[in-house]
Structure 1
Amino acid sequence: MQFPDESSAAKAATELEDTDFRVAAEQNAPVLLPKYQNAHAHWRPGIPSLGSTLAIGRYVLYLNVGLPDPDLAQLVSVTEQVYDRQLPMLDKLPSLTRRQILELELDPHQVLDRTLVESRRAEPESESFAAWGLQGYLNRQFNATALQRAFETAGADGFGQSAISLVIRTRDRDAAHDLAPILLRPPLDEIASADPVPKIPNGNCAEHTNLSRIDRRERRFTCAITYNRYVSLVGSEQLIDAHQLAAAQYALLANTW
């Protein structure tokens, strides 16, 4: 979280910790992070989670780390590892002015312009109509480690998500073509081949055969199409619907500058 100045960030970090701690003040216990002694942290002994806040400049980091076992030393170690990775990223991200916050672009990579929507009245919304760079999109994925290498190899830098379609901008046509089959068969999913999209080049489809394990936003059938440097995924409970969505998405990509 970003705050107007360093003092308000420090105050917010303290108040967030105090509020969280008081939820179960009799059971919670303060925790010291040796590498980040200016961080606030606490846990409930016997419960395998640790909460922490840390003010860095105008930013406040708010973490909740959970592990299978209530091992305090391990919880502290993982929390410090998160800070180890997060703080250098913030060093590369200058805080925004009040004006810059208002001027942030909704679609800097112009992927939402190419994303199929159910209604032209679609408005920005984190689940059904939003755009991200690579880091933002990976933060939404359960299999981020497996996907990251594929995205980096393809030079994927822009991701647009609507309620019915995902559009990814890659380095070039060849990169899009190579990425599509990887996305169609994501790690950990049990996939069977399905009939391709009629009359659409490289419009391949797959059926998820382990619906109980996949994310609830997924559909039984998924189709992947490519056009120039773009890859798109669409899905539906019925294959004919997935084919129709894929054809519509292909037409949109082909007719968008």
Structure 2
Amino acid sequence: MRFAFRRLAVAALTVAIASVSTACGSDSQTTDHASVLDVGAYSTQRPDSGFDDRSSRSRGMLVESLRLGERVVFGSEVAPEFSAGHGGKVLATGSGFRNADGVSAAAMEPFNPLAAFISNAQDTPYIGEYHKHYELSVALVAFPDDQTAANAAAAMEREDFGANGSNVPVPLADHPTALSHWRPGTPNLGSWMAFKSVVIAVYVEGVQANLDQLAGFVSKTYQQQMPKLESYTPTSPDQLSMLRMDRDNLLTRLVKTDDAIPDQRSFAVYSARGFAGLGADPTTAARDYDAQGVQAIAVSDNKYLYKLNDAAASKSFTNYLAGDSTVSKYIPIAGVPGTVDVMCFKATQPNPTIVGARRFRCLIPYDGVVAEVFSDQESDVRQLAAAQYLLLKDAG
């Protein structure tokens, strides 16, 4: 199963307002709320930013990889055969690079890659064992300079070409610098091309061995991908370890429930487009995030924090999240006693595409942000939401 963030299904809910008595004193608000709201064992203290305060090459590689992920083409932007997003993945780790479709760690690592991200799309959200399908993988790998990228592209293509003696070159008239090949009679094609200091690696699979169709898909992918890389300014290799992950201090506004270790799945900050690219319908999600004014999304264990343009946008986006219907089909349940705006929900069915606890969910809007928290236990999700509510209010 590929990892993917997905928007969760819910219907709109108006939460009953509970009155809270307030004592006198300049700092009484926090004390009184804490005495009323049940936060269980959760801390309402703002976590520190130690994860960003020290030099770290592995963190820098993650941040730079996510920058590439903001710019990777969506399959649905290439052709309707690739309309179902199957998520994206950072290939760069502190201990090396992961292999993936079209990407060989052994072939590229001698060229000092700095970051890498791969995105996958297919024709259906769920693929059966014997289902013939369309698949498109697009990987972006950053290198120190243009010539190194060109050399790395040739090395990756050469290694893949040599893996099977039946492979033959495939020239692309629209992209003469692309290095492509296929094995006649097989319904797939691989291609590698350097664009400035980034290698674009494309792997496409069809339902039949139609070379013209496969080559057409690859050419269209390059046509869509290159303009998206025009805005990419590479980070200098000597500055990579200084890249901060959380410039807006979003992660420190989320309740601490796990170790603060930078990780694409459990502790990271995404752009709106980068986050949309992790889901089943990235084109629609990116459009909706833009329309709603979403500027960034922080992911921390079983919590998200969405940064919006202003308080009005956060209220509007809360309603958007509450009405976004997908796999889990959430229904409203009682919110957090003692709060006005917190909404909570229960899933009516499991979502097999989601990693982690997702049975219960609460939305907590505050000023220009919206927090979204999850748990598999109803009492626990309310305690977590209460703690998150207090932290947002106290952190300001």
TM-score computed with the length of structure 2 as normaliser: 0.60
Q: Paired residue for 2:340?
A: 201
Counterpart selection for 2:288 from 150, 164, 172: 150
What residue is the counterpart of 1:163 in the other structure? 301
What are the equivalent positions in structure 2 for 1:234-253 lying under 5 Å apart? 234-253=373-392
- How many aligned positions are there? 255
Consecutive unaligned residues in structure 2, runs of 5 or more: 1-140
> 2:114 matched to which residue of 1?
none
Q: How does 1:73-222 map to 2 (within 5 A)?
A: 73-119=212-258, 121-198=259-336, 199-217=338-356, 219-222=358-361
> Counterpart of 1:61?
200
Give the counterpart letter for 1:11 in structure 2.
N
Shift of 1:64: 2.0
The whole-number CA distance in structure 1 between the counterparts of 2:394 and 2:188 is: 50
Structure 1 unaligned spans of 5+: none
CA distance in 1, matches of 2:214, 2:345: 40
Output one character per residue of 1:95-126: Cα deviation in whole Å (capped at 9) or x when no partner: 2212332322211232112122313x411111
Aligned CA distance change for structure 1 residues 89 and 212 (closer, same or farther; 3 Å) = closer
- Say which SS state the counterpart of residue 306 (structure 2) adopts: strand
1:22 aligns with 2:199: no
Q: Distance in 2 between matches of 1:163 and 1:182?
A: 22
Verify: 1:2 aligned to 2:145, yes or no: no
Cα drift, residue 185 of structure 1: 4.4
1:11 aligns with 2:151: yes
Distance (Å, rounded) in 2 between the aligned partners of 1:239 and 1:6:
53
Superposed CA deviations along residues 16-55 of structure 1, whole A, max 9, x for unmatched, are: 11122233x1343332222112111223445443322111
TM-superposition CA deviations, 1:174-231 (whole Å, max 9, x none): 1111112322444432414131322332222233333154423351122211111111
Q: Secondary structure at the match of 2:229?
A: helix
- CA distance, structure 1, for counterparts of residue 339 and residue 206 of structure 2: 46
Structure 1 residues 190, 118: CA separation in 2 closer, same or farther (over 3 Å shift)?
closer
SS, match of residue 107 in structure 1: coil
**Tell me, what secondary structure is at the counterpart of 2:142?**
coil
My pick for the range that moved more, 7-16 or 234-243, is 234-243
Task: Work out whether residues 302 and 356 of structure 2, in 8 Å CA contact, stay in contact via their aligned partners in 1.
Answer: no
Pick the structure with greater CA Rg.
2
- Residue 230 (structure 1) aligned with residue 369 (structure 2): yes
- How high is the sequence identity, in percent, across the aligned residues? 29
Tell me what 2:127 maps to: none
Contact 2:357 2:376 in 1 (8 A): no
Does the 8 Å CA contact 1:107/1:131 hold for their aligned counterparts? yes
Indicate how the Cα distance of structure 1 residues 200 and 145 shifts in structure 2: closer, same or farther if over 3 A, else same: farther
Distance 1:255 1:26 in 2: 65
CA distance in 2 between partners of 1:168 and 1:111 (Å):
8
TM-score by structure 1 length?
Answer: 0.89
Residues 240 and 19 of structure 1: is their aligned pair in 2 closer, same or farther, counting only changes over 3 Å? same
1:35 aligns with 2:178: no
> Counterpart of 1:19 in 2: which secondary structure?
helix
Letter in 2 for 1:125: D
User: Relative contact order, CA 8 A, sep 6+: which one is greater?
Assistant: 2
Measured on the aligned residues, the alpha-carbon RMSD in Å equals 2.1
Of stretches 218-227 and 192-201 in structure 1, the one that deviates more from structure 2 is 192-201
Q: Quick one: which amino acid aligns to residue 129 of structure 1?
A: F
Return closer, same or farther for 1:10/1:115 CA change in 2, 3 Å cut-off. same
Poorly superposed stretches of 4+, deviation over 6 Å: none
Q: Deviations over 1:77-99 (max 9, x none)?
A: 22222222221122212222123
Matched, 1:255 2:394: yes
1:94–1:165 CA distance, 2 compared to 1 (3 A) = same
SS of match in other structure, 2:294: coil
